[in-house]
Structure 1
Amino acid sequence: MVLPVAFFGLFFAYPVAAIVGRGLRSDGQWQLGLLGQVLTDPDVLQVLWFTVWQAAASTACTLALALPGAYVFARFDFPGKRLLRAVVTVPFVLPTVVVGSAFLALLGRGGALEEWFGLRLDTSVWAILLAHVFINYAVVVRTVGGLWSQLDPRQEEAARVLGASRIAAWRRVTLPALAPSIGAAALIVFLFTFTSFGVIQVLGGPRYATLEVEIYRQTAALLELPTAAVLTLLQFAAVTAMLAFHARTVRKRQSMLSMLPAEQTARRPQGPGQWALLGSVLTVVVLLILTPLAVLVERSFNGPDGYGTANYRALGSVSSDATFTVAPVAAIGNSLIYAALATCIALVVGGLAAAALTTRGGGGAVGRLVRGFDSMLMLPLGTSAVTVGFGFLIALDEPPLDLRSSWMLVPLAQALVGVPFVIRTMLPVLRAVDVRLREAAAVLGASPLRAWREVDLPLVRRALIVAAGFAFAVSLGEFGATVFIARPDAPTLPVAVSRFLGRAGELNYGQAMAMSAILMLVCTGTLLALERIRTDRSGEF
């Protein structure tokens, strides 16, 4: 645990505590009265209400649209299933700025929807909700569907034989087994949408702001650190409560009905009803997932002089009014290098943390320590990335950690997001390794290092590759913290996309679409590769 705890202490807890402390302290005194002032401000209450409301609405819409998809992927076998599973996962790892760009191209001014039907949704909350469903569709499909594919269907059939109707059998047999998984998926979706930043930043406009966007506005635009600190504490408390509840939900999932390999439960659709269900799910996937991605690619080729590669060619030059001091194409190389370094850091830190978490301490002090350690490692997924990024600039400004001018700040911030994905991928596989294999190697004279290299590593190699792929994809798209710490001479792709979207001009918009398409291509390639080497056949996250 030593290295992971040190890493999170230095690059997560310390920067967050520094910016919160600076905001709540004045003349050496804690200004605790600010808590009441900020939390009773009508504008803040409106932001808090909208944050909770849009997260709840996004979660409900995601469950309504994705649960049928979870059933189809779990129970049906059809051509292209593996490819389609990878495709619906692409939005989950896409940078949120790219998601915002895709829906802006589809629903915004001059977008495909306005051209086809004369309708714009970018000024309404519907664009935000649809974008959130687009991102989180795979969370439900793979979390719930992964478990659903392993439930023994004969138990429900036995209930039917005993006289239960199809609905009653599903409600009394299958639903209780799925309930913890559905609850976990709903909580994850709520957590991600509660802390939404990039989507709101691009699609929300001045009318809609979540806590994360308001923290960014108070910090970057207004320099109101006290207000930002209070909002950070509020979001941190909410996220901590959600993660604690999620940990309890995960533990409940360990007691399930009898399970079967996914291959034994999937079959070809039978009858008009099942084919109609498959068709409706495929229609939702085409409209909700593929259409925004296709429109994004189409807009990337639609330049000032018509269709062509003008937007891509413009990425190689620096305009006179450029935000960056280098050509935008340099952001591609920067992002790939930063993401590769962040992946290496995440693998080392996350791998050690996952190994530490294989300790089974039961309900005693060791068990509580392990569960607390596990929850701590998940906090970066829900804590304000804006606070972390600005905290880097505030806290890491004195030797021996004077890193404000160092390029290493970016991969360190990205690794914070990648570590939880490494842990969640590696942990189940490490726990499945039979400890007697290590003991046998030790009896035969192998050192602990050699036992790990020759016993554990071959068993977890595929999980390690999958973990690296997920860490690379999410690091590539990190935006909330990077927007503060990326230097003008070394921007990342998400930061460059955001800057171009914030500037007027058709060419700037085209370049944003072109860079978004490149990011989408890299993430899609990564996900397709992971789908070929994933460690189980259920498709579960």
Structure 2
Amino acid sequence: MALPVAFFGLFFAYPVAAITARGLYSGGGWHFGRLLDVLGQSDIRHVLWFTTWQALASTALTLLLALPAAYVFARFSFPGKQVLRAVVTVPFVLPTVVVGTAFLALVGRGGLLDDLWGVRLDTTVWAILLAHVFFNYAVVVRTVGGLWAQLDPRQEEAARVLGASPLRAWRQVTLPALAPAVAAAALMVFLFTFTSFGVVQILGGPTFSTLEVEIYRQTSEIFDLSTAAVLTIVQFAAVGAILAVHAWTVRRRESALRLVDAAGTARRPRGVGQWALLAGVLGTVALLLVLPPAVLVQRSLDAPDFAYYRALTSEDGNVFLVPPIEAVGNSLEYALAATAIAVTIGALAAAALTRRDAGRLVRGFDALLMLPLGVSAVTVGFGFLIALDEPPLDLRATWILVPLAQALVGVPFVVRTMLPVLRAVDERLREAAAVLGASPWRVWREVDLPMVRRALLVAAGFAFAVSLGEFGATVFIARPDNPTLPVAVARLLGRAGELNYGQAMALSTILMLVCAIALLLLERIRPQSRTGSTGGTPVDRTGEF
């Protein structure tokens, strides 16, 4: 635990505490009265209200559209199912900047809907809600669908034999078993939409602002650190409460269910109703998940002779000190370094958390590992600039600052991917190897590593994808001569002109393709589902967050 604790202490807790203290401490004293002053402002209350209700609306809409797909993936077997699973999951690993850009190409000024019917949805809440559903669709499908596939269908069939209608059997037998998974998925969707930044910044315009966007505005535009500190504390408290409830739902799900092999529960659709449901899910996926990226690609190719892509090789007229195409190489280098850090820290943390003699403090660290996903990335990024500017941690002029910020987001995915697999390793195998004289290192190398190798590769892939698309913190610390892809896209979108818009579309397409390729590789090496020894908990958790 020493290295993970030191890493999070130095590069998460310290920067966040430093920026918060800078806002609330001045003149030799603390000004906690500023909390009430800020929260009493009408515009801040409006931001809090919009942040909350749009997250609730996004969560409800995501559940409404994604739960039928979860059932289809759980109970139906049809050609192309694995490909469709990858298509559904791709949006989740896409950077929020790409998601915002894709919907801008679809519903924004000069977008597909504007060209065909004169309809524009950018700067409206509907564009934000649809983009959030696009981004979080896979959370519900993978979390709920993964459990649904392992519920024994004979229980519902028995209720039907005893006279229950299909709806009543589902409501009284299946729904209670699914409730913890649905609650866990809903909480994670709410968390991601409550802290939304890139999507709201691109699609919302000046009209709509979430807490994360307002923290960015107060920090970088107004430079009101006290207001930003108060909003950070509010967001931190809200995220902590969400994660506490989420941890409770996960424990309830894992301890209350007995599961079966998922491979035996999927059947070919039968009857008009099941085929209609499958067709409806395929239509939803095509319109909601495939159309926006397709329009993005089409817009990037609008100019003749790949003009937008060729313009990426020139620095003339751009806001960068280097050609925008160099952002591709920068992002790959940063993401590889961040992946190495995240896998090292995450694997050590997961190994410590699997020990049966772990104390309450160690188990509590499991929940803390999730905080970087919900705490303001803007605060973390600006905190890096404030806190890491003096020896021995004077890192502001070094390249490692960006991978460190990206690794903070990657570590939770590594832990969530590896932890269930490590917990499923039979402890008796380790004990037998130790009795035969193997050292702890050899036990890990010859017992644990062969079993978790595929999960380790999946964890590295997820860490690479999320590091590649990190934007909130990187926008503060990426230097103009070394921009990352998300930062380059955001800066190009912020400038007027058709050429800048086209280059943003081209860079977003490149970033989307890299993330999609990474995810397709993950699908090929995804660990096979099997059942562990702790209450029937499925080993395959690569799609659960």
Q: Same fold (TM over 0.5)?
A: yes
2:310 pairs with one of 309, 313, 318: 313
- C-alpha distance in structure 2 between counterparts of 1:367 and 1:416, whole Å: 24
1:418 aligns with 2:410: yes
1:453 aligns with 2:445: yes
Query: Within 5 Å, which residues of 2 pair with 1:221-236?
Result: 221-236=221-236
**Contact kept in structure 1, 2:151 and 2:259, CA below 8 Å:** yes
- C-alpha distance in structure 2 between counterparts of 1:235 and 1:505, whole Å: 36
- C-alpha distance in structure 1 between counterparts of 2:28 and 2:265, whole Å: 64
Q: Secondary structure at the match of 1:268?
A: coil
Match for 2:314: what amino acid?
Answer: S
* Ranges in structure 1 where 5+ consecutive residues have no aligned partner: none
Match for 1:309: what amino acid?
Answer: F
1:484 aligns with 2:476: yes
- C-alpha distance in structure 2 between counterparts of 1:467 and 1:476, whole Å: 14
- C-alpha distance in structure 2 between counterparts of 1:354 and 1:486, whole Å: 30
Query: Within 5 Å, which residues of 2 pair with 1:6-405?
Result: 6-303=6-303, 307-319=304-316, 321-360=317-356, 367-405=359-397
1:391-418 Cα offsets, whole Å, 9 max, x none, are: 0000001000000111110000000000
Deviation at 1:263, TM superposition (A): 1.1
Q: Secondary structure at the match of 1:185?
A: helix
Deviation at 1:369, TM superposition (A): 1.6
**Contact kept in structure 2, 1:128 and 1:204, CA below 8 Å:** yes
Match for 1:349: what amino acid?
Answer: I
Cα RMSD, aligned residues only: 1.0
Q: Secondary structure at the match of 1:155?
A: helix
- C-alpha distance in structure 2 between counterparts of 1:256 and 1:167, whole Å: 23
Deviation at 1:367, TM superposition (A): 4.7
- C-alpha distance in structure 2 between counterparts of 1:258 and 1:166, whole Å: 22
% identical aligned pairs? 74
1:298-339 Cα offsets, whole Å, 9 max, x none, are: 011112xxx4311111111111x3211011111000000000
**Contact kept in structure 2, 1:414 and 1:475, CA below 8 Å:** yes
1:53-80 Cα offsets, whole Å, 9 max, x none, are: 1000000000000000000010000111
With 246-255 and 46-55 compared, the bigger mean Cα shift is at 246-255
Deviation at 1:359, TM superposition (A): 2.5
**Contact kept in structure 2, 1:302 and 1:308, CA below 8 Å:** no
1:502-531 Cα offsets, whole Å, 9 max, x none, are: 001101001100000001101111111111
Deviation at 1:154, TM superposition (A): 0.5
Q: Which residue of 1 aligns with 2:535?
A: none
Deviation at 1:247, TM superposition (A): 0.6
Deviation at 1:536, TM superposition (A): 2.9
Question: Runs of 4+ in structure 1 displaced over 2 angstroms?
Answer: 255-258, 536-541
- C-alpha distance in structure 1 between counterparts of 2:189 and 2:26, whole Å: 38
**Contact kept in structure 2, 1:144 and 1:540, CA below 8 Å:** no
**Contact kept in structure 1, 2:90 and 2:516, CA below 8 Å:** yes
Deviation at 1:371, TM superposition (A): 3.0
Q: Secondary structure at the match of 1:302?
A: coil
Deviation at 1:139, TM superposition (A): 0.2
1:363-405 Cα offsets, whole Å, 9 max, x none, are: xxx5532331011111000000000000000000100000011
Q: Secondary structure at the match of 2:254?
A: coil
Match for 2:298: what amino acid?
Answer: E
1:437 aligns with 2:464: no
- C-alpha distance in structure 2 between counterparts of 1:158 and 1:252, whole Å: 25
**Contact kept in structure 1, 2:123 and 2:208, CA below 8 Å:** no
Match for 1:56: what amino acid?
Answer: L
Q: Which residue of 1 aligns with 2:502?
A: 510
**Contact kept in structure 2, 1:145 and 1:540, CA below 8 Å:** no
- C-alpha distance in structure 2 between counterparts of 1:162 and 1:450, whole Å: 55
With 307-316 and 494-503 compared, the bigger mean Cα shift is at 307-316
TM normalised by structure 2 equals 0.97
**Contact kept in structure 2, 1:359 and 1:370, CA below 8 Å:** no
Query: Within 5 Å, which residues of 2 pair with 1:456-535?
Result: 456-535=448-527
- C-alpha distance in structure 1 between counterparts of 2:373 and 2:178, whole Å: 24
- C-alpha distance in structure 2 between counterparts of 1:516 and 1:308, whole Å: 18
TM normalised by structure 1 equals 0.97
- C-alpha distance in structure 2 between counterparts of 1:255 and 1:380, whole Å: 27
- C-alpha distance in structure 1 between counterparts of 2:351 and 2:327, whole Å: 35
Q: Secondary structure at the match of 1:206?
A: coil
- C-alpha distance in structure 2 between counterparts of 1:368 and 1:189, whole Å: 28
**Contact kept in structure 2, 1:334 and 1:491, CA below 8 Å:** yes
**Contact kept in structure 2, 1:417 and 1:475, CA below 8 Å:** yes
1:166-214 Cα offsets, whole Å, 9 max, x none, are: 1111111100100000000000000000000000010010010000000
- C-alpha distance in structure 2 between counterparts of 1:261 and 1:117, whole Å: 49
- C-alpha distance in structure 2 between counterparts of 1:155 and 1:129, whole Å: 37
- C-alpha distance in structure 1 between counterparts of 2:431 and 2:355, whole Å: 16
**Contact kept in structure 1, 2:381 and 2:477, CA below 8 Å:** yes
- C-alpha distance in structure 2 between counterparts of 1:199 and 1:368, whole Å: 38
- C-alpha distance in structure 1 between counterparts of 2:102 and 2:449, whole Å: 40
Deviation at 1:450, TM superposition (A): 1.1
**Contact kept in structure 2, 1:15 and 1:394, CA below 8 Å:** yes
- C-alpha distance in structure 2 between counterparts of 1:255 and 1:374, whole Å: 17
Deviation at 1:256, TM superposition (A): 3.8
- C-alpha distance in structure 2 between counterparts of 1:261 and 1:313, whole Å: 51
Match for 1:41: what amino acid?
Answer: Q
1:249-276 Cα offsets, whole Å, 9 max, x none, are: 1100113443221110001100000000
* Ranges in structure 2 where 5+ consecutive residues have no aligned partner: 530-539
**Contact kept in structure 2, 1:393 and 1:485, CA below 8 Å:** yes
- Alignment coverage as a number of residue pairs: 533
